[in-house]
Amino acid sequence: MMSAESQVILRNKEYYTDGKVIVVNPIDAEVFFELGNHVTGFHQFYDIYEQAYAADFTRHEFNTHLSAPDELYDTAIVYMPKVKAHLTMLLANLANVVKPQGQIFIVGHNKSGIKSCGKHLEVVCDHVNKVDSAKHCGMFVGTVKAGAKAFDLDSYLTTKTYELNDVTWQVAGLPSVFSQDALDPGTHILLSHLPKNMKGQVLDFACGAGVIAAYVGVQHAKFNAENDSNSPLHLVLSEINALSLYCAQRTLHLNHLQGDVIASNGLTNVEGKFAHIITNPPFHTGVNTDYSIAYGFLAQAREHLNEQGSLVLVANSFLNYADVMLEHVGPSSKLGGNNRFSVYQAIAARAPKVQKK
């Protein structure tokens, strides 16, 4: 189903019927079916990229940022991000890839803060105006100024140091990346209930900046050093957000850890089986609450766990994930929590034996 934001884009397609046009972070792939072949897509979110790529792989890029092409774009159309700092970073990038006097459009739902986007556009654009207001959405446009400062993604990168349970580790952050500024209270409770020596294959699902995986890795190295042990650990981190994947890789590097960092919509690109899967699963799509990501993950998790492997997650206390985990994974229990968050664990049940005829 086409989003209201995409419908507003199509209402105003006379503004971008020709020239070189790029659509940035669309929230559905359907919009490309209605725009011409002169329109390409740039995606920082793998789920929509995957859908758009399947329809026409020649027109889409999944990456942290855009590099300046040989021929600059005439027009960029940006879907309003959830985080204003993310918008600021996107616009700084686009000011380097859209030609001076080209146009940048921003479209977003009224709940997204679109009404205040004009002041962000004014940093890189002149002649900022409101183009449309329909379907509870707004659309703004500005004309790109000349002389944009060269874009450097790492200039937006932050590094935080966290301490918990005698473990100290560093975390890289960028705008829009979960746990960028502080240790999330749900993740704090989750980490407090993990065993001290997790080993084998460990998956950090929806890893954000890599907070969980880095904690597990640093704690594992500390345990091995203190106990003259050499137990193995292989970290795998999965995410849909390109900026999160970039931060997760940097977080591993900051903590002298190695691991595989994978772009995946759910578990579709995750291969193999794990001794442990750990997650603070997302429950938002854009600005909207969406528990389907977590439920879809739980439905697939068992096939990625070793027999007797563990799945540990943290969730809002009002969500009854224990029953869902029991249904799809195996025996589950509540490890702890407070009035806001609960930590659940499920142990992968033995696969049913096939009866011989």
Total domain count, the chain? 2
DSSP codes of every residue in 213-276: HHHHHHHHHHHHHHTT----EEEEEEESBHHHHHHHHHHHHHTT--EEEEE-STTTT--S-EEE
Tokens 């918990």 -> residue = 164
Do the Cβ atoms of 267 and 311 come closer than 8 Å?
no
CA distances from 9 to 66, 76, 166 (A): 21, 12, 52
Q: Is 303 exposed, middle or buried (0-12, 13-18, 19+ CB in 10 A)?
A: exposed
Q: Mind listing the pLDDT tens digit for each residue in 121-158?
A: 999 999 999 999 999 999 999 999 999 999 999 999 99
Please tell me whether residues 198 and 300 are part of one structural domain: yes
3-state SS assignment for residue 4 = helix
pLDDT, tens only, 231-261:
999 999 999 999 999 999 999 999 999 999 9
Residues 104 and 167 in one domain: no
Tokens of 346: 């499920």
Using alpha carbons only, give the angle 124, 62, 86 rounded to the nearest 5 degrees.
Answer: 35
Here the tokens at position 234 are 């292989």
265 and 178 fall within a common domain: yes
Instruction: Tell me which residue range forms the domain holding 130.
Output: 4-153
Query: 288-289 and 259-263 as β-strands: parallel, antiparallel, unpaired?
Result: unpaired
Residues 6+ apart with CB under 8 A from 159: 170, 171, 172, 173, 254
Token pair of 142 as six digits: 């500005």
Alpha-carbon gap, residue 213 to 233, rounded angstroms:
11
Last residue of some domain: 123, 153, 183? 153
pTM of full prediction above 0.85: yes
User: Among 97, 121, 153, which residue terminates a domain?
Assistant: 153
Q: Please report the pLDDT score of residue 283 as a whole number.
A: 63
**pLDDT given at position 350:** 73
Spatial contact of 299 and 329, defined as CB atoms under 8 Å apart: no
200 and 290 in a single domain? The answer is: yes
Give the whole-angstrom CA distance, residue 186 versus residue 337. 9
Residue 357 counted as domain residue:
no
The segments of the chain whose pLDDT lies below 50 read 284-287, 354
- Give the orientation angle of helix 321-328 with respect to helix 292-301, to 10 degrees: 30
* 354 within domain boundaries: no
pLDDT of residue 179: 67
CATH of the domain at 170: 3.40.50.150
Last residue of a domain, which of 134, 153, 172? Answer: 153
- Report helix, strand or coil for 194: coil
Does 333 lie in the same domain as 229? yes
The answer to whether residue 289 is domain-embedded is: yes
The mean pLDDT of the chain is: 93
SS3 302: helix
